[in-house]
Amino acid sequence: MSARKYFGTDGVRGIVGGDRINAEFALRLGYAAGRVLARGAVSAGRPTVVIGKDTRISGYMLESALEAGLSAAGVDVMLAGPIPTPAVAYLTRAWRLAAGIVISASHNPHYDNGIKFFSAAGTKLPDETEAAIEALLDEPLGCADSAGLGRARRISDAAGRYIEFCKSTFPSELDLQGLKIVVDAANGAAYHIAPHVFRELGAEVSVIGCEPDGFNINEKVGATHPETLVAAVAAQGADLGVALDGDADRLQMVDATGRLFNGDELLYAIVRDRARTQPIQGVVGTLMTNFGFERRMRELGIPFERAKVGDRYVLEVLRQRGWLYGGESSGHLLCLDRHTTGDGIVAALQVLAAMRHAGASLADLVADLSMYAQKMVNVPLAPGLDWQTHAGLKEASDAVRASLGERGRVLIRASGTEPKLRLMVEADDEALAEEGVRRLVAVKLA
């Protein structure tokens, strides 16, 4: 497939006021998407789309522009207001809609924003549908006649419906009574949802990062700044902390000792819990998943496969293999037996269910997972340099791999966003990892 002009791996993203994230582009995007959706409508009535957003101030502008474009194309619109990205996926499927649209730039700062789509099944739009939308984006803006225009209505119970869905993914025979949990919603889309989910399941809940003002999303709070939650858990004497990112599809957790658990450890807790009652067909990680996780899966006889970095790629491999569980170290976790997409709240509930089933702490659940030391250095990459065929780098990496044997691994990959080469060595001994990285960095890339 030819390179996309507008769509990236996660919809359309950019700086607010730039060439893509502005009112005029959102209007044209809504109209183009509406035409494609109307063309593929399977029912006699108009296709209907739900739009959700996070708490960025630019969401108002983009929401209005998308609504106008979709209406001009003859598509009805349901406006759900601020709700998590996975909530839009759920509502699209639950309401049998033609598509869902999310206005969010996830873990980025407020001056960025993005627009991405979900299919009627609550999954990413097929590539051919995105390509069809792109093909219409540069055509002149049109408008249906008055009788053919779409209607728009604001939905008042979207948050409540999603809260009930999240609770339904937690075993009905369990509760969270006796747990004190600090919830950090990153001043993002779950600020009015996540606290209720845990509270209604019986936990004593206190909150941080639940006072959005349009500008403070992800600002020193949330899954990308977990140190704030670590301090809050300690200060409040809580049992656990749950940190989400701005659109609530990413998770980090903290225990009473201040220990931070990343996505690899949380995924391990979930997989081990599921393995109590069912065979695990396989688990998908990424190139960055800790080697200790891979090795532990091998010891347990569970197939493990690595995808490219990005939860989209994890999901692709899961679907190809017919597996249910996967995730990233950063905290994007997928439990396809509970949801069609990554969901921070749902993932946290699966970890909590694992703790309840075992009657154990989170640290105890992952005690037999030995995480390897990861050492990574970014080095400048000259334009046009083919690092994959660079003789010196190959020689050094082969030597490091030989020295590691079964004790670790080497990962070399180019950054997707900047002209840099990422050199990483993992080992069961920190000094061994550091020595491996030093040998790679010593190579002159010219």
Domain boundaries of the chain, sorted by first residue: 10-154, 159-258, 259-364, 371-440
Do 434 and 376 touch, CB atoms closer than 8 A? no
Torsion of CA 51, 57, 342, 125, to 10 degrees: 40
CA 330 to CA 275: how far, in whole Å? 23
What would the two tokens of residue 37 be?
């959706």
- Under 8 Å CB-to-CB from 235, ≥6 apart: which residues? none
CATH 3.30.310.50 fits domain 371-440: yes
Which residues are paired to 199 by β-bridges? none
3-state secondary structure of 364: helix
In CATH, the architecture of 259-364 is: 3-Layer(aba) Sandwich (3.40)
Low-confidence ranges of the chain (pLDDT < 70): 1-3, 40-44, 416-417, 446
Instruction: Report residue 372 CA to chain centroid gap.
Output: 24
The pLDDT value given to residue 416:
67
Do 12 and 134 touch, CB atoms closer than 8 A? no
Could you give the strand order of the β-sheet that contains 408-414, starting from the edge strand earlier in sequence? 373-380, 420-427, 408-414
What would the two tokens of residue 395 be?
């020689």
What would the two tokens of residue 71 be?
């209406």
Radius of gyration over every alpha carbon of the chain, rounded to an integer in angstroms: 23
3-state secondary structure of 426: strand
Q: For tokens 């858990």, what's the residue?
A: 233
Range list of β-strands (E), 179-221? 180-184, 204-208
From residue 250, alpha-carbon distances to 107, 345, 369 in Å are 9, 8, 21
Indicate which residue of 106, 119, 206, 329 is catalytic. 106
- Under 8 Å CB-to-CB from 337, ≥6 apart: which residues? 274, 324
The pLDDT value given to residue 126:
82
CA 198 to CA 229: how far, in whole Å? 16
CA 242 to CA 185: how far, in whole Å? 8
β-strands 251-255, 204-208 pairing: unpaired
Half-sphere exposure of 366 (CA within 13 A, CB side): 23
CA 299 to CA 306: how far, in whole Å? 17
What would the two tokens of residue 168 be?
């339904």
The pLDDT value given to residue 1:
44
What would the two tokens of residue 260 be?
């931070």
Q: Is 206 a catalytic residue?
A: no
Which residues are paired to 103 by β-bridges? 53, 115
Which residue type, as a one-letter code, is found at position 234? A
What would the two tokens of residue 32 be?
């183009």
What would the two tokens of residue 259 be?
């220990």
CA 134 to CA 433: how far, in whole Å? 45
The pLDDT value given to residue 267:
98
Which residues are paired to 50 by β-bridges? 78, 100
What would the two tokens of residue 222 be?
């949330």
pTM, to two decimals: 0.92
Torsion of CA 187, 189, 193, 197, to 10 degrees: -90
Domain 159-258's class?
A: alpha beta
Do 68 and 152 touch, CB atoms closer than 8 A? no
User: Exposure of 177 by Cβ count < 10 A (0-12 exposed, 13-18 middle, 19+ buried)?
Assistant: exposed
Do 438 and 374 touch, CB atoms closer than 8 A? no
Which DSSP string corresponds to 300-363?
TT--EEEE-SSHHHHHHHHHHHT--EEE-TTS-EEETTT-SS--HHHHHHHHHHHHHHHT--HH
Domain 10-154's class?
A: alpha beta
The pLDDT value given to residue 427:
95
159-258 and 259-364: identical CATH topology: yes
- Under 8 Å CB-to-CB from 421, ≥6 apart: which residues? 378, 379, 380, 381, 387, 412, 413, 414, 415, 445
CA 290 to CA 288: how far, in whole Å? 6
CA 168 to CA 176: how far, in whole Å? 14
The pLDDT value given to residue 10:
79
304 backbone φψ class: left, alpha, beta (φ>0; ψ -120 to 50): beta
